[in-house]
Amino acid sequence: MFKNLEDVQKLGKDNADLLNKALVAQQKSAQAVATEVQDYAKKSMEAGSAFVEKLFGAKSLDKAIEVQTEYAKSAYEGFVASATKIGEIYANAAKEVAKPFEAAFAKVQAK
C-alpha cells in the first residue's frame, strides 16, 4: 500500500490540509450564522419596542387590532426571511466544507 515512509508522511500532511480547509470553511459559516442571528435579534427587539409604543398609542380597539395584525405579519415575514437566509448559509457551508474532500476523492478515483 505504502512504498515508504515518505508516502505515509505525505498522506498525513494531505489529510491535515484537507481537515484544515474544511474547518476554515466551517468557521466562516458559523460566523455568518452568528451574525445573521444577531441581526435578526436586534431587528426583532426594535420591532417589538415599536409595536408596544404603537399599541399604547392606539385610541380605539380597532386601531389596536390593526397594529397587532401588522406586527404579527411583519414579525412572521422577518422570521421566515431570517430562517431562509440561515438555511442558505448552512447549505453553502455544506458545499464549501465538502469541496476539499471532493477534490481528494477525485484524485483517489483517478489513480
Alpha carbon 95 to its chain centroid, in Å, reads: 13
| pTM of the entire predicted model | 0.74
pLDDT at residue 3 in the model = 67
The model's pLDDT over 54-93, given as tens digits with 9 standing for 90+, comes to: 999 999 999 999 999 999 999 999 999 999 999 999 999 9
Q: Are 97 and 32 in contact (CB under 8 A)?
A: no
pLDDT at residue 33 in the model = 94
Residue-wise DSSP of 73-100: HHHHHHHHHHHHHHHHHHHHHHHHHHHH
**Which run of H or of E encompasses 72?**
helix 61-110
**Which run of H or of E encompasses 60?**
none
- What are the sequence ranges of the domains in the chain? 18-110
